[in-house]
Chain A
Amino acid sequence: MMADRPSSRSSFLRAFLDALRAVAGDKGVLMLLIGAPVLYGFFYPWFYSLEVVQRVPVAVVQQDGSGLARQMLRFAEASPRIEVVLTTGDEAEAQQALLRGEVMGYALLPPDLKRDVVRTQKVVVPVYANGAYPLVAKQVQYGFAEAVGTVSAGIELRRLGAAGQSRLQAASSRSPINLQMEALFNPTEGYGSFVVAAVAVLILQQTLLMGGALLVGTWRERGEAAAPVRIWLARLLALCALGWLSGLYYFGWMFVWHDFPRGGNPLGALLLLAVFVPAVAGLGVLLGWWFANRERAMQVLLFTSIPLAFLGGFSWPAEALPTILQWLRWLSPSTAAIQASLRLNQMGAPAQAAAFHLSVLLALALASWLAVLWVGRRRAGAGTAGHIGRPD
Chain B
Amino acid sequence: MTNPMLASMRRDGRLLRGRPWDLAMITWVPLLAVMLLAWMFSAGLPHRLPVAVWDQDHSSLSRQLVRMLEATPGLAVRAQVLNASEAQWELQSMASYAVVQIPPGFAQDVKRGRAADVVLMHNAQLSTHSSLIQRDVRQVVGTLSAGVEMQARAKRGDPRQALAVRMEPVRTSLVSLFNISTNYEQFLAAALIPALLHILGMTAGAWSVGRELRDHTLGEWMDEAANGPPNGQPDGKRHGRPAGAATVLGALAGKLALPWLSLTLCGLLALLWLTVGRGWVVAGSFSWVGLALAALVAVSLAMGALLAALTLSLRTALSGAGLLSAPAFAFSGVGFPLLGMPASARGWAVSMPYTHYARLQLEQFQMGAPIVQSLPTLCSLVLATLVLMLLATAGVMRGLRRPDKWGGR
Q: List residues of A whose CB falls within 8 A of some B CB.
A: 28, 31-32, 36, 39, 43-44, 46-50, 52-54, 56-57, 98-101, 104-105, 107, 113, 117, 120-138, 141, 144-145, 148-149, 151-152, 155-156, 159, 169, 171-187, 189, 191, 193-195, 197, 199, 214, 218, 261, 291, 293-296, 298-300, 302-303, 305-307, 310-311, 314-317, 319-322, 325, 339, 342-343, 346-350, 353, 392
Task: Give chain A residues whose Cβ lies under 8 Å from the Cβ of B173.
Answer: 124-127
A100 touches B319 (CB 8 A): no
Verify B91–A347 contact, CB threshold 8 A: yes
B385 at the interface (CB under 8 A from A): no
- Alpha-carbon gap, A199 to B335, bound state (A): 14
Q: Which residues of B contact A48 (CB under 8 A)?
A: 336, 340-341
A residues in contact with B178, CB < 8 Å: 130-132
Asked whether A316 lies within 8 Å of B125 as measured between CB atoms, the reply is no
Give the complex CA separation of A175 and B150 in angstroms. 10
Q: Which residues of A contact B84 (CB under 8 A)?
A: none
B residues within 8 A CB of A179? 117-120, 137-138, 141-142
Residue pair A32, B164 in contact (C-beta under 8 Å): no
Residues of B within 8 A of A291 (CB): 21
| Cα(A84)–Cα(B335), bound, Å | 23
Partner of B318, one of A98, A124, A298, A320: A298
Interface assignment of B108: CB less than 8 Å from any CB of chain A: no
Q: Most chain-A CB neighbours within 10 Å: which of B200, B321, B329, B337? A: B337
A151–B172 Cα distance when bound, in Å, is 11
What CA separation (Å) do A77 and B145 show in the bound complex?
30
The answer to whether B40 and A310 touch across the interface, beta carbons within 8 angstroms, is yes
What mask results when residues 178 to 199 of chain B are scored 1 for a CB within 8 Å of chain A, else 0? 1110101001100010011001
- Interface positions, chain B 159-212, Cβ under 8 Å from A, are 162, 164-180, 182, 184, 187-188, 192, 195-196, 199-200, 203, 207, 210
Chain A residues near B175 (CB-CB < 8 A):
126-129
How far does the Cβ of A312 sit from chain B's closest Cβ, in whole Å? 11
Q: B327 on the interface (CB 8 Å rule)?
A: yes
The interface residues of chain A lying within 8 Å CB-to-CB of B115 are 171-172, 175-178
Determine if A295 and B128 form an interchain contact, defined as CB atoms under 8 angstroms apart: no
Known interface pairs A47-B330, A306-B195; A136-B337 also in contact (CB < 8 Å): yes
Please indicate the chain A residues that have their CB under 8 angstroms from the CB of B334 in the complex: 133
B120 and A132 contact, CB distance less than 8 A:
no
- How far apart sit A120 and B124, CA to CA, in the bound complex (Å)? 40
- Residues from chain A with a CB closer than 8 A to the CB of B172 are 107, 124-127, 141, 144-145, 148-149
Given contacts A184-B123, A186-B125, A298-B319, is CB(A311)–CB(B169) below 8 Å?
Answer: no
B104 within 8 A of A: no
Complex CA gap A126/B335 in Å reads: 25
- Contact partners of B6 in chain A: CB under 8 A: none
Q: Within 8 Å CB of B44, what residues of A? A: 320
Q: Are B171 and A325 in contact (CB-based, < 8 A)?
A: no
Whether A178 pairs with B117 at a CB distance below 8 angstroms is: yes
Give the docked Cα–Cα distance between A321 and B45 (Å). Answer: 10
Question: Are B196 and A135 in contact (CB-based, < 8 A)?
Answer: no
B174 touches A127 (CB 8 A): yes
Contact B340 A53 (CB under 8 A): yes
Q: Are A125 and B170 in contact (CB under 8 A)?
A: yes
Given known A-B contacts A44-B330, A46-B345, A181 and B18 have beta carbons under 8 A apart:
no
B92 contacts partner chain A, Cβ-Cβ < 8 Å:
yes
B356-378 toward A: CB 8 Å interface, digit per residue (1/0)?
Answer: 00010010001101100100000
Q: List 18 A-B contacts (CB under 8 A).
A: A47-B348, A50-B340, A117-B169, A125-B173, A132-B366, A133-B333, A134-B182, A144-B172, A175-B115, A175-B149, A176-B145, A179-B142, A185-B124, A299-B207, A300-B29, A307-B40, A316-B184, A343-B94
Q: Which of B46-54, B243-251, B268-276 contacts A (4 or more CB under 8 A)?
A: B46-54
CB <8 Å contact, B341 and A47:
yes
Chain B residues with CB under 8 Å of A99's CB are 367, 369-370, 373
Determine the distance from Cα of A247 to Cα of B20 in the docked complex, in whole angstroms.
35
Contacts of B314 in A (CB 8 A): 295
Residues from chain A with a CB closer than 8 A to the CB of B138 are 179
> Cβ of A155: which chain B residues have Cβ within 8 Å of it?
169-170
- 3 tightest Cβ-Cβ pairs between the two chains A and B: A320-B46, A131-B176, A131-B179
Residues of A within 8 A of B318 (CB): 295, 298-299, 302
Q: How far is A130 from B326 in the complex, measured between Cα atoms in Å?
A: 27
Using known A-B contacts A306-B199, A314-B126, A349-B93, determine if residue A180 contacts B118 with beta carbons closer than 8 Å: yes
